[in-house]
Every structure is written in C-alpha cells, then in structure tokens.
Amino acid sequence: MDGYDGTVRLGAINLKHDRAADFDSATAAPDVSVSSPVTRQKAAAAKQFIENHYKNYLQGLQDRKDRRRALQRKVQESQVSAEEQEEMMRNLERRETEYMRLQRRKIGIDDFEQLTVIGKGAFGEVRLCRAKDTGEIFAMKKLKKSEMLSRGQVEHVRSERNLLAEVDSRCIVKLHYSFQDSDFLYLIMEYLPGGDIMTLLMREDILSEDVARFYIAESILAIHSIHQHNYVHRDIKPDNLILDKNGHLKLSDFGLCKPLDDKYSSILLENDDLTSQESTSETEGYSVSPWLMPKEQLQQWKRNRRALAYSTVGTLDYMAPEVLLKKGYGIECDWWSLGAIMYEMLIGYPPFCSDDPRMACRKIVNWKTCLKFPDEPKISAEAKDLICRLLCDVDSRLGTRGIEEIKAHPWFKGVQWDMLYESEAAYKPTVTGDLDTQNFEKFPEVDGPPSVTATVGPWRKMLTSKDNNFIGYTFKKSDILKSLESSDADIRVNGSSKTPSLITLLGRIDLQDTIIPESEQKPEA
C-alpha cells in the first residue's frame, strides 16, 4: 500500500478517456504517486464504464416507458376490441422481455459463422459473417489487440466503439455487437454490400454533377449526424463512405473520432516540416497540380491509393490543414474533407494528391497557392464556388456556422434534403443476394498455420485484469422496433384482419421519419 515507491514508468500507456475533465483531474490528483499507472488506468476505465452504464440504463428505461405510452395512446384511438387491445399490450410486453434477456446474453465469436474477407489491413480484417441463431448477415471487424497496443491505437478503438454505440442513425453504419477475447476485439456491424465511394471513383473516374450532388448531400447529412453528438470525425475520406444495397450512403470507420472536448493529439507530421517550406513556392514539384503530373504517375497514385486505404497511415489527402498543423480544430475540419472529396468526384483526383504523403501535407497546408482547377473536365461555376468555400480558412468555411449554410448553397438547388434517403439513389450498385461481395476487393484466403484458439473465458477476466485497456468494450444492440415487425404474424393469427399491426400503429409515431421502405427482395443468385 504505502510501500509503493511512487516511481512512474516512463512511456507507460497513457489512456485518455473521453472526458477531458476526468483526464485533468486524474493527472492532478494529489495522491498521484500513491497508486500505480495501471491502477489509475483501471480506475479511469471503471469510472467511464459506470458513467456510460447509468446513462444508457436510465435512457433505456425512459425509452421503454415512451414505447409503452405511445402504444397505449394509439390503441385507445384505434377501433379495436378490449380483448385485442390487451393482446397488443401483451405482445409489446413480450418483446420488451425478450429484449431484456438479449441484453445479458453473452455474445462471442462462436455465435458467428465467418465468411468472405472483404477488407484487410494493419490492425486486422473485415469479414462477412452470419449469426448462427438467426442467419442474419453482418460485417465483422476484427482487431488484433497486440497491434492496437503497440501502435497506440487503444484510444481510437474506444472512440469507434463509443460512437457507434451512441449514435443511432440511418446515415451511420450500424453497430450490433462488440466483444473481445484474449487476442482480438470484434465489432459486428451492418453489412453494406454496395462497396465504398473510393471503389466507385476508381471505376468511374469522375461522376456527373447530379450523381456527385446526391452523394455530397447524403454525406452532409451523415457528417451532421455525428456532429450532433459532439463528435468530430477528422478523417472523412471516400473509403469511409459506404453504400448499402440500394446505393444510399453511410458513414463508417470512426477510429479517429474524438469528442469535441478531447485534448488535441496527433501522430501526424511535425509543424516544422510543413511550415518551413511555406516560402519556397518555387520548389520543383511543389506546385504541380494533379492534372499536370505525368499520366503514369497518376495511375501509380491510384494503385497506391487502395493499398494506403488498408495501411496504418491511410491517406492524408483529405485531411484539413488545422488537423495536420495540430492546431485546435472543431467540426469544421470534416467539411474541408468533404470539399476535397467533392473535388475528386468532379475532377477525378483529390486537389492535393501526391505520391509523397509529406508533399501532400505541404500542399494542404499551403492550399492558398496549391488549390487549382484544370480546364478539363468542365464543372459548373456553382460547383467550383462550393468547393472553394469548403477548402478555405476555418473562419470563412461553409458549415462553421451550421449545416444550413452549406445546404443553402446554389449547387444544392433542388435537393430535397428530408427525402434523400427515401428517394432512389443516384447510383445503384450491382448486388446479387445477401452474400454478394463483388463490390469489394478480393482477398485470398491465406490459410496460415492454424493459430492457437483465442481464449474466450472467463468473461470476468475479460472484463478486468490484464485487458484493462479494453474495459467496457462489450456492447449489444437489439432493434426492438425491428422485432416488433415480426409480431405482425402473431396479431394476424389472433385477431381479425382489420386489427392494426403494432408496426402500423408505432409507425405513425416513430417510424415514418426513420424507416426506409424496403425494396423488393432480390432472389438469391
């Protein structure tokens, strides 16, 4: 106890959790030398877990109360018999009970059948999988713990899990479960078979303004949905914009997401390297615009682009200057990224791309000199104006004073913002059946030497002990509204054909603005 020598190991993993205040108080604790770094780390994680728990617990109870009250109100207004009313209430109660049981069910790797690999990178892989009990198809993101720790990615992992668990929006890829074993962290997410915008751009080279307008507009709604939860993405890029089977866009991959009140940190290039070149605009290759690069060089950039998407570094081509310079930044940095993506959609290349990541960074930081437009392909004056209003200083950047100023830009004239996700998408991906992965790159199944099976239990040890870096990682999301749909059959069996279904009743209150009508099911190939 008091015998601890008070020595703090240099280079110890510094777990920065989501609340800056807690972080500050932790470092300012008067008894800081009395406990070890591991103990303080465990305490910080435990505190966050408990805070999250009570937030979710109380919100869950409130949501449940709201669902019950809403159904009661609608049942009373409907023309059904007392018996049928009671039956509908009992159905809701049964669903709530089932949901509650699911909340304490342990989810693990054995509950899923692993299928095709659709993504592979430094930290792990993304794979199609099927839930053994329901047959439902998901994307499983599997992250190697040892890589997370050695590359300082613990905080990124936590950020992604926390955001996905917190934000429930049709613009964001849905997280269904997260869990861990001794070697890996797992995120079980919605599978979006349409591929990503990066793949679309590589195939199409440029998009028409109508197609680009549609996807930039949907991107705006997606980015706004995480901003509303006080998260900044910081790394919006075409790889993170994924299409569902109907071609609608969802935002994914939140490894760099940080709550707005977090302290700034970055592993990006140092200030000096970026600013020291600022006055040497004559440097050879420095001011070369993408379309003036040799064609072969651009093709090489595209080939490298896909490899970068799966690497540790990724690509910095879409990152805002204030992020690169490690200045303070806010949600505005995401609008810059959107401007760079829009440029690429219409011109064919990002505005500041380069084979050399450091050169790309220099171009971004010196955007005033380096942002240029080629004579071909032709783009409208409005499109050019919008790009210039997104790729500019924070103070004058559109979006800094709210999303409405972006939506109001002339280039978006005619966009029905509240109908985007209900309308037909500008591009319809080819998807054949639930297991189709044709819109993703092919990855060979490398059957390496069979590794020792990761240890799953005991769960308590997973919750605490050596894995305190990943405390509170487990998450289960059950879509109770979705399960209400399946109660239609029950109602029909027990009641008259005129009985309003639960989904119909609830739909009038909750579902109209959230559920996208399902298109007809495509038959399996």
User: What single letter denotes the amino acid at residue 211?
Assistant: V
Residue 50 as a binder of other proteins (CB under 8 A): the answer is yes
Residue 229 as a binder of other proteins (CB under 8 A): the answer is no
Residue 228 as a binder of other proteins (CB under 8 A): the answer is no
Backbone CA torsion sign across 198, 202, 203, 205: positive
State which of residues 38, 292, 408, 454 lies at the interface with other proteins (CB under 8 A).
38
Query: DSSP labels for 89-151?
Result: HHHHHHHHHHHHHHHT----GGGEEEEEEEEE-SSEEEEEEEETTT--EEEEEEEEHHHHHHT
235 is catalytic: yes
Strands 137-144 and 175-180: unpaired
Size of the site for other proteins (CB under 8 A): 52
Residue 104 as a binder of other proteins (CB under 8 A): the answer is yes
Helical (H) or strand (E) element with 187: strand 184-190
Peptide bond connecting 377 to the previous residue in cis, omega within 30 degrees of 0: yes
Residue 58 as a binder of other proteins (CB under 8 A): the answer is yes
Per-residue contact flags (x/-) with other proteins for residues 464 to 483, judged by CB under 8 A:
xx--x--x------------
Of the candidates 180, 209, 222, the residue with the CA atom closest to the CA atom of residue 410: 209
CA gap 347, 392 in Å, rounded:
18
CA gap 354, 363 in Å, rounded:
9
Q: Classify 380 in phi/psi space as left (phi over 0), alpha (psi -120 to 50) or beta.
A: beta
Looking at the Cβ atoms of 100 and 307, the one nearer to other proteins is 100
Looking at the Cβ atoms of 60 and 285, the one nearer to other proteins is 60
Residue 34 as a binder of other proteins (CB under 8 A): the answer is yes
Structure tokens at 32: 């800081």
* Least Å from the CB of residue 10 to other proteins: 19
Residue 486 as a binder of other proteins (CB under 8 A): the answer is no
Residue 43 as a binder of other proteins (CB under 8 A): the answer is yes
In the set 235, 239, 253, 317, the catalytic residue is: 235
Burial class (CB in 10 A: 0-12, 13-18, 19+), 443: middle
State which of residues 100, 292, 307, 408 lies at the interface with other proteins (CB under 8 A).
100
Residue 89 as a binder of other proteins (CB under 8 A): the answer is yes
CA gap 42, 40 in Å, rounded:
5
Stretch binding other proteins (CB under 8 A), from 91-99, 211-219, 292-300, 498-506? 91-99
State which of residues 14, 39, 228, 283 lies at the interface with other proteins (CB under 8 A).
39
Stretch binding other proteins (CB under 8 A), from 145-153, 168-176, 400-408, 452-460? 452-460
CA gap 345, 367 in Å, rounded:
19
Of the candidates 316, 216, 202, 302, the residue with the CA atom closest to the CA atom of residue 256: 316
φ and ψ of 113, to 5 deg: -95, 120
Residue 264 as a binder of other proteins (CB under 8 A): the answer is no
482 assigned to a ligand binding site: no
Q: What is the dihedral of CA 362, 363, 364, 369, to 10 degrees?
A: 120
Residue 9 as a binder of other proteins (CB under 8 A): the answer is no
State which of residues 294, 328, 458, 517 lies at the interface with other proteins (CB under 8 A).
458
Looking at the Cβ atoms of 61 and 313, the one nearer to other proteins is 61
Stretch binding other proteins (CB under 8 A), from 96-104, 123-131, 183-191, 214-222? 96-104
* Least Å from the CB of residue 124 to other proteins: 26
Long-range contacts of 478-487 (CB under 8 A, 24+ apart): 478/99, 478/102, 478/103, 480/67, 480/95, 480/96, 480/99, 481/506, 481/510, 481/511, 481/515, 483/95, 483/98, 483/99, 484/92, 484/95, 487/91, 487/95
- How many degrees, rounded to 5, is the angle at CA 114 between CA 475 and CA 451? 95
| 448: Cα separation from own chain's centroid | 30
Strands 249-251 and 241-243: antiparallel
Residue 27 as a binder of other proteins (CB under 8 A): the answer is no
State which of residues 10, 11, 31, 525 lies at the interface with other proteins (CB under 8 A).
31
Residue 489 as a binder of other proteins (CB under 8 A): the answer is no
Structure tokens at 157: 């992992």
Looking at the Cβ atoms of 65 and 303, the one nearer to other proteins is 65
Looking at the Cβ atoms of 435 and 456, the one nearer to other proteins is 456
State which of residues 17, 42, 130, 161 lies at the interface with other proteins (CB under 8 A).
42
Looking at the Cβ atoms of 94 and 327, the one nearer to other proteins is 94
Helix (H, G, I), strand (E, B) or coil at 172: strand
State which of residues 19, 20, 47, 286 lies at the interface with other proteins (CB under 8 A).
47
Stretch binding other proteins (CB under 8 A), from 85-93, 382-390, 443-451, 511-519? 85-93
Residue 106 as a binder of other proteins (CB under 8 A): the answer is yes
Of the candidates 517, 516, 519, 518, the residue with the CA atom closest to the CA atom of residue 169: 516
Catalytic residues: 235
Positions in the binding site for other proteins (CB under 8 A): 1, 4, 22, 25-26, 29-31, 34-36, 38-40, 42-43, 45-47, 49-51, 53-54, 57-58, 61, 64-65, 68, 89-90, 92-93, 96-98, 100-106, 458-460, 463-465, 468, 471
Binding site, annotated residues? 141
Binding site, annotated residues for ATP? 141
